[in-house]
Chain A
Amino acid sequence: MMPVLARKLLRTIGSTLGQFIASAVVIATGVMAFVTMTAMSDNLIRSRDSFYRETDFADHFFHVVRAPEGVLSRVEAVPGVLRASVRIQKDVPVINNEDERTTIRLLGYPLPDRQELNRVKVLSGRMAEKYPEGGAVEILVNRQFAEAHGFRQGDTIDIAAEGRRKTLTITGTAAGPDFVYAVKDAASMLEDPSSFGVAVLPQNQLQQILGEKGSVNQVLVRFIPGADRVGVAREIRNILEPYGSLADYEQKDQISEAILRGELNQLKAFARFLPTIFLGIAVLMQFVFIGRMVQVQRGQIGIMKAVGYGNVSLLALYGGYALSAASAGAVAGTGLGYFFAGLMTKLYMMFFNLPRLEEALHFRAAGLVFGTTLVVGTLAGVWAARGVLAVSPAEAMRPATPRSFRPSMIENIPGLMEHLGLSWRMSLRSMFRNRFRSAVTILGLLLAVGMIVISIFARDSMFDLMERHFEKEWRFDFLVRVVNPVKEKDLLSISNLPGVREAEPILELPVRIHYKGRYREDVLFAMHTGSGLGRVIARDGHELDFPEEGLFLDWYTGRILGAGTGDEVEVETILGLGPPRKSMLRVAGISRKAFGSASSVSLDTANRLLNEQGIASGIVFNTQDEFKESIEYALGDMINVISVTSREKEVRFLEKNMKYLYYSVGIMTFFSVLLGFAIVFNASSLSFSERRRELASLRVLGFSAREVSSLLWKENLLLLAVGAVLGLPFGRLMAEAYAIGVSTDLFTFEAVVYPTTYAISVLGGGLFILVSWGLAARSVGRLQPVETLKAND
């Protein structure tokens, strides 16, 4: 049979079911968030690591304009290099009947496969053949691209390469470590994934298509473990220098890996952030509630001690209450966590090309959080129960000594109390004299209000980003990039299209910016000074024109280099045109793009850097609405055009993605509200049970039920005011902490909170107060004054 103490525990849970469920729900939410995020990121990390191992993801990447295949043996001969691979890669436009411009990255793959670096794994269909029958060219594409366009094995796509149209046959789908997340470059992160794909094909075929027989433009290196990577990379750079060294970067900066890592960081930030708040609140709730329960059951504890129960059994009884709530929460939270992790995995499968992402979920997360929750929850319970257990049983048999009260500070403020009505005076006094109770309610409201701010701010920040990007930076409808930089007049074929209103050339120039021995690869975005179609945004949010002299340095580059306004930086061009050129430029200011990173110069400055005149790499223009479609159609047929970015489509794509954001905002808000209710419900039931006698006495003295509940209401309102005043900045701080947590090199997220969000949060707090008051008013109505006063707790 169950021991009586255990039965007492169950009865206590039963009689305080509301509070019990409230704290279990809060715990469950925290555990769920932790398990979901951690299981997901564990899963992602394992899948990624094993995939990288299996496919030999390179340690370092070098891009050159053109090098002979033979360079491979020279690179492999460098001490510290374990293995190397050479590849050719080129982005080309797909010619299709859809009105959307699609780019495909052709990735040469040496066949037969002699254990290359960055091997690809065939996911469906079969490997492309080196010499297929009938002179066809076979490719494997990434799964997302195939799915987006409904491609199946045997389908063909046409591309434009070297001014010719070429047909490629799809033999299946593949995954490779460098396109787990397939995106053209950091600047294109916002574009619809269906507009960019990766095609793997035999290297010999690609060389032939590009008219580059025997040439490669990428060198992949795996270092010997423990090698001096910086030194070895320098040596390889020297070897590659004559072939037009464009850029080199470590594995961690490879775009697909960087995005994947950013996602993992975000998951980790989430996994730390949310559960900590929720578990913290749960512990606090348990602590306060059990502390109060022990106070109320002082007499019972005394009896049990008199009967012969020791401290350990009694601590176990009250600790057991906390343990039960923690267990219930942990079990429910873990179950839900794995359920959501399963759903999230499916979501990730849509974006990440990892062959084994659906692998079984691992249970490290559950173990971790289960242990923590139970230990922390129980300790809180035991700690809360400690006070009364320390007194002797005889002392526990007597009612607690009345607490000594003194006039609080607020009552000493001259003139304040006289100006307030009796009920306000009583509320104010009660709030200040019961500091612990007030502090708990305020803390609860602070967290609840703060949580609403945190829930909604992501939306504000996203709106702000979009506004900066689409209203301030981009004042054009289309951005068209051409395959190779051309003279401005060569873009007339585009600016003369019917329906184009204003057009301006742009030049995007990949550069390496040096300052005091440090450097960072960046892109210079150039437009004419005084252009009506584009603006630069300063770090502080001001709109600026493109500078006549010098450059506006991207804030992130500036931070890495340690360069600021007025400094002279060295700009080295790494465009594959002619030899790299170095020039000094003065930093005219610090800018911050909404998305991605780029520094800004005038078109003239950019041309001067290249020692050219009137060169552009693309064009931006405004159109008359009714011509948009025909313009896009016309652009689709231009072979020299590499990409067309439509502001309208990008906005639409972002808005589509915002739906995911709204889901997560919705979920977060739901849980915040839940949390708020749990906290406020808990605080108000506690406060009521603590004040039963006091309120009953007021009723006996002649106060009406309405007057008594209005006392509670006024006190609650005062507490809300304090909670909101503290909760709003708390929410703001948390939002900033969150923004820092999820920011990566590729994507910096700035916390923006609109005033409406603050207003909504305060309203939310008011709602909680209203509900708590409703509960209290109901209880006051039910109060039997005489019974309550007679009862000996």
Chain B
Amino acid sequence: MQEKGPTWRLDRVFKTYDMGEVKVEALRESSLSIPEGELVVILGPSGSGKSTLLNLLGGMDVPSGGDVWFRDENLSAASDRQLTLYRRNVVGFVFQFFNLIPDLTARENVDIAAELVDSPFPTEDVLDGVGMSDRIDHFPSQMSGGEQQRVAIARALVKNPLLLLCDEPTGSLDASTGRLILAQLEEINRKFGTTVVIVTHNASIADMARRVVRMSSGRIVEETYNEEPLPPERISW
């Protein structure tokens, strides 16, 4: 793996939301660098600004101030069209509530992402990789939470993204299913070198990451490194 400096760099970004009658400071001035191929866990209680950080990294939102760099592209100055292309070609998302499209089957939910890029992985292979090959024509309502999340991971992976962003990926799952999902994420990072960023409030998950970013009240308060990350199977909560 070549060392060319961090691929993603947040430079003194902050974000405030205008919620009708109140202003919410979701993220106060923060800076963070993520080199390609890392597995990072961003840890913090709800309202600590971690999802906002994830959204900025994923090009889902632009900061109210500061810069978000992907290589030499400044995402905070990017147009809507450029952000769409960035999300399309660079990022894969996994959400807490899976967010599958209810009127599409597992295969179609993956296809909908595959169709966007030039050389996706074959849908069947990806679904097979997450252990969903036998549920390929089921609709989300016919799947368990863990199954839905695996389809969601397949949907994120099929585009062969550089960056996989996971927002509370185990938040809606029981512990054993959660561990399976985390193992899959770790495997993706290890096998394909995909950069994986996991956002969670669950401190135990931090044990599997080499790098842990702790957030509180909209600020990054601490960055730590694990010399010996635990394999996900051994994490418990």
Judge whether A307 and B19 touch: CB under 8 Å.
no
Q: Mark A1-42, 1 if CB is under 8 A from B, else 0.
A: 001110110011001000000000000000000000000000
Judge whether A306 and B93 touch: CB under 8 Å.
yes
**B residues in contact with A5, CB < 8 Å:** 112, 115
Q: Which of B20, B61, B85, B101 contacts A308 (CB 8 A)?
A: B85
Known interface pairs A307-B93, A308-B89, A401-B19. Does A394 touch B60 (Cβ–Cβ under 8 Å)?
Answer: yes
Q: Which of B61, B80, B108, B155 contacts A307 (CB 8 A)?
A: B155
Judge whether B87 and A395 touch: CB under 8 Å.
no
A300 at interface by CB-CB < 8 Å: yes
Bound CA–CA A395/B20 (angstroms): 13
Q: Mark A199-215, 1 if CB is under 8 A from B, else 0.
A: 00000000000000000
Bound CA–CA A12/B20 (angstroms): 32
Q: Which residue of A lies closest to B84 (CB)?
A: A310
**A residues in contact with B103, CB < 8 Å:** 8, 11-12, 15
Bound CA–CA A12/B52 (angstroms): 31
Bound CA–CA A392/B15 (angstroms): 14
Q: Indicate the member of A4, A5, A304 with the most B CB atoms within 10 Å.
A: A4
Q: Which residue of A lies closest to B97 (CB)?
A: A792
Judge whether A306 and B58 touch: CB under 8 Å.
yes
Judge whether B84 and A309 touch: CB under 8 Å.
yes
Q: B52 to nearest A CB, angstroms?
A: 8
Q: List 11 A-B contacts (CB under 8 A).
A: A3-B115, A5-B112, A5-B115, A12-B103, A300-B99, A303-B95, A305-B84, A306-B91, A307-B116, A308-B159, A404-B21
Judge whether A303 and B111 touch: CB under 8 Å.
no
Q: B13 to nearest A CB, angstroms?
A: 14
Q: Which of A4, A11, A306, A404 contacts B115 (CB 8 A)?
A: A4
Bound CA–CA A392/B103 (angstroms): 23
Bound CA–CA A3/B114 (angstroms): 10
With an 8 Å Cβ cutoff, the count of chain B residues facing the other chain is 35
B198 at interface by CB-CB < 8 Å: no
**B residues in contact with A11, CB < 8 Å:** 103-104
Q: B79 to nearest A CB, angstroms?
A: 11
| Further 15 A-B residue pairs, CB within 8 A, beyond A304-B101, A397-B99 | A3-B115, A11-B104, A303-B101, A305-B60, A305-B87, A306-B58, A306-B93, A307-B113, A307-B155, A308-B116, A309-B84, A393-B61, A394-B60, A397-B60, A792-B97
**A residues in contact with B89, CB < 8 Å:** 308
Judge whether B80 and A8 touch: CB under 8 Å.
no
**B residues in contact with A8, CB < 8 Å:** 101, 103-104, 108, 112
B210 at interface by CB-CB < 8 Å: no
Q: A27 to nearest B CB, angstroms?
A: 24
Q: Which residue of A lies closest to B116 (CB)?
A: A308
Q: Which residue of B lies closest to A302 (CB)?
A: B99
Q: Which residue of A lies closest to B167 (CB)?
A: A397
**A residues in contact with B104, CB < 8 Å:** 4, 7-8, 11
A743 at interface by CB-CB < 8 Å: no
Q: A728 to nearest B CB, angstroms?
A: 40
Bound CA–CA A397/B87 (angstroms): 15
Q: Mark A331-344, 1 if CB is under 8 A from B, else 0.
A: 00000000000000
B88 at interface by CB-CB < 8 Å: yes
Q: Which residue of B lies closest to A10 (CB)?
A: B103
Bound CA–CA A12/B117 (angstroms): 24
Bound CA–CA A275/B117 (angstroms): 44
A299 at interface by CB-CB < 8 Å: yes
Q: Mark A383-413, 1 if CB is under 8 A from B, else 0.
A: 0000000001111010001001000000000
Q: A296 to nearest B CB, angstroms?
A: 11
**B residues in contact with A623, CB < 8 Å:** none
Bound CA–CA A401/B58 (angstroms): 22
B68 at interface by CB-CB < 8 Å: no
B202 at interface by CB-CB < 8 Å: no
Q: Indicate the member of A5, A300, A397, A404 with the most B CB atoms within 10 Å.
A: A397
Q: Which of A12, A299, A306 contacts B60 (CB 8 A)?
A: A306
Known interface pairs A11-B103, A299-B99. Does A307 touch B21 (Cβ–Cβ under 8 Å)?
Answer: no
Bound CA–CA A792/B101 (angstroms): 12
A710 at interface by CB-CB < 8 Å: no
Judge whether B97 and A310 touch: CB under 8 Å.
no
